[in-house]
Amino acid sequence: MVPKDCCQLFSFAALIVLLALDDASAQTSAPAVFVPFGAPTEYATPTAPPLVASRSSCGACSGVVGGTTVPQQPNYVGANYPIAGQVDYSNFGANFGNESGCGNGYADGSGLGVGGASYGSGYGGGCPTTGFAQARPQALWYASAAGLYMSRSEPRRVWTTYEGGGGPGANANQLMHTQDASTGFEGGVDLRLGRYFACNRWAIELGYWSMNNFEGSASQTHANGVSSPLQFNDLEVPLGGVAVADFFDNAAEHRLYRENEIHNIELNLIEGRAASVGCSPWSHQMLVGVRYFKFDEDLIFDSLDTSGTWGGNGGLDEMRLSESIQNDLIGAQVGCILQRQLGSRTRLIMTPKFGIYNNHIENRFDLRRGDGTAAAPSAFSAVAGGYPVESSTDVVSFLSEMNIGLQYQASYRWSLFGGYRVVAITGIGLADDQIPQFIVDIPEIADIDSSSSLVLHGAFFGATRSF
C-alpha cells in the first residue's frame, strides 16, 4: 500500500508533466513554480508559498492542497512592481481542478470572442477548491476566430402580384408579396484581436464580423397573366410614350429578388479583472467602446410583357423597379461580460451590449425598361422630377447585442467557445418600406422611412489563442 503523501507527490509530478506537454512552446527559463490561481501575487524569490496546517475561512480565500491550505498572497501593487529580483506571476492561465472557489483567477482567452481578459475563479479557502495553476509566461495578446450561422427578421409585407385577366374574383387572388423573397440562414466570420495593458488591468480589443450576403428570390406566373396592386398610373417610357402600367398588368411573369450586405466593426476597452463576491461562481467585467455597423439592402421587382422573353428583344419587353438603401451606423456602446463557472474548465458566458448611434441612410429608387431607359411621370401627372430618386437622411438608432454560450479551456493557450447571438437594431431603413402605393409619388419616395427594426440571430462557434 502506497503512503498517502507519496500519492500526492506523484499526482503533483504528473500534473507538472501534463502542463509541460500541454504548452511546451510557451515555457521559458523561469522555474516551474506552483502558485495560487487567482489574484495577482508577488514573491521575493521564485519559491512556492508556505503551507499552513489549518483550513481557513472562505473570506481568506486560501487554496487547498491535499487537505492543507495555502494562504492568499498579497494583491498586485501596481506601481511598486516589478522590483528587481522578483518574478512576475501576475498572468497565469488554464487552471485545472474545481475552479468554483473564492476570488478571481486568470484564464487566457476571449469570452465568446469578446473580452480577452476572461477569467475563472481561483482561491479555494472554505470552498472545495484546488485552484492551482502552473506559473507560465505572461500572455499579453489574444486572437479568436469564429464561424457564424445567422438569419434576419422578416421585413414588412408588400403585395406585388395578383391574378390578372380581370375575371370574377381575380383581383382578390393575391399571389406574391415581398416576404416571398425572404432570406434564410447564411454563414459568416467573426475575428477578434486583443491586448492586455496597464498590468493586465485592462484589455483593448478590435473585432470584425460579417455575413455572406443574404439572398432571396421568388417568381409568379398564372394562366390568366399576373398584375400588380402597385399603382403605375401616370408613368411612361419616353420616346414612344409606352405606359409603364402595361408592363406590370396582365404580364407573363413577375419576379422578386432581395440581397442584404452586413458588416460590423468594434473597438472595445474591457476591464481586465473579473470581479466576484466571496464564494460566488459568478463574476463580471465591464466594457465600453465604439461600433460601426453597416446594413445594405437591394430589392428588385421585375415584370415581363406577355409577348416577350427574359433577355430577348434587347430588353424592350421588360420593366424593372429597383430599390437600394444603405444604413451606416456609428456610435458608442457599453456592456459587460457575465461569467458563471460550471466546472474546472467550463464556464457560462453572457455578453450584453447596448449603444446609441447616428444612422446615415442613403436611398436610391429607380424604374427602368430592360434596355436601360428610365421611366418618367407623364405630362398630365403634374409631378416634377424623374428616376432615379436619390435621397439621404440622418436618424438616431439603437443597437443591442446579446451573446450567450459556453467556453471550454482546452489548454493554457487555447479555448473553445460556442453559443447564440442576437442583434437588434431600431431606427433603420428597409427596402420594403420605401415602396409607395403610387409609384409616381416622387416626393413620397424621397422621404426615407426609417421607422423599421431589424433582428439578426444565429449560432457561433470558434476558438481563441493567447500569446
Omega prior to 443 cis, within 30 of 0: no
Q: What is the pLDDT of residue 171?
A: 76
Q: What is the pLDDT of residue 91?
A: 38
Q: Is the pLDDT of residue 271 over 80?
A: yes
Cα 301 to the center of its chain, rounded Å: 31
What is the distance between the alpha carbons of residues 87 and 44, in angstroms, rounded to a whole number? 8
What are the domain boundaries of the chain? 142-466
pLDDT tens for 91-106 read 333 333 333 333 333 3
What is the distance between the alpha carbons of residues 435 and 452, in angstroms, rounded to a whole number? 13
**Cα–Cα distances in Å, from 322 out to 43, 153, 182, 257, 401?**
70, 21, 16, 9, 31
Reduced to 3 states (helix: H, G, I; strand: E, B; else coil), residue 322 is strand
Q: Is the pLDDT of residue 39 over 80?
A: no
Name which of 261, 238, 251, 255 is nearest 386 in CA terms: 238
What is the distance between the alpha carbons of residues 175 and 281, in angstroms, rounded to a whole number? 56
Q: Rounded to 5 degrees, what are φ and ψ at 109? A: 125, 145
Q: Mean of the pLDDT values across residues 322-350?
A: 96
In the DSSP assignment, the letter for residue 225 is -
What is the distance between the alpha carbons of residues 179 and 218, in angstroms, rounded to a whole number? 9
**Cα–Cα distances in Å, from 25 out to 87, 366, 409, 431?**
20, 60, 17, 53
Q: Is the pLDDT of residue 27 over 70?
A: no
pLDDT tens for 427-450 read 999 999 999 999 999 999 999 999
Beta bridge partners of 318: 304
Q: How is residue 147 written as a grid cell? A: 464561424
What is the distance between the alpha carbons of residues 253 and 164, in angstroms, rounded to a whole number? 11
Q: How is residue 293 written as a grid cell? A: 455597423
Reduced to 3 states (helix: H, G, I; strand: E, B; else coil), residue 172 is coil
Q: Is the pLDDT of residue 294 over 90?
A: yes
Q: Which residue has the cell 396592386?
A: 229
Reduced to 3 states (helix: H, G, I; strand: E, B; else coil), residue 245 is helix
Q: Is the pLDDT of residue 36 over 80?
A: no
**Cα–Cα distances in Å, from 298 out to 15, 31, 363?**
58, 61, 10
Q: What is the CATH number of domain 142-466?
A: 2.40.128
Q: What is the mean pLDDT of the chain?
A: 77
What is the distance between the alpha carbons of residues 258 and 368, in angstroms, rounded to a whole number? 18
Q: Is the pLDDT of residue 68 over 70?
A: no
Q: How is residue 343 written as a grid cell? A: 466546472
What is the distance between the alpha carbons of residues 84 and 104, in angstroms, rounded to a whole number? 26
Confidence of residue 230 (pLDDT cuts 50, 70, 90): very high
Q: Is the pLDDT of residue 45 over 50?
A: no
Q: Residue 422: which region, alpha, beta or left (left: phi > 0; alpha: psi -120 to 50)?
A: beta
| Percent of the chain clearing pLDDT 70 (strictly above) | 68
Greater pLDDT, 453 or 123: 453
Q: Rounded to 5 degrees, what are φ and ψ at 319? A: -135, 140
* Max Cα–Cα distance, the chain, nearest Å: 106
Q: Work out the angle at residue 340's Cα, subtended by the Cα atoms of residues 337 and 343, and round it to the nearest 5 degrees.
A: 135
Reduced to 3 states (helix: H, G, I; strand: E, B; else coil), residue 360 is strand
Q: What is the pLDDT of residue 241?
A: 81
- In 3-state terms the chain splits into helix, strand, coil percentages (rounded to 5) of 10, 50, 40
Q: How is residue 352 written as a grid cell? A: 450584453
What is the distance between the alpha carbons of residues 92 and 359, in angstroms, rounded to a whole number? 42
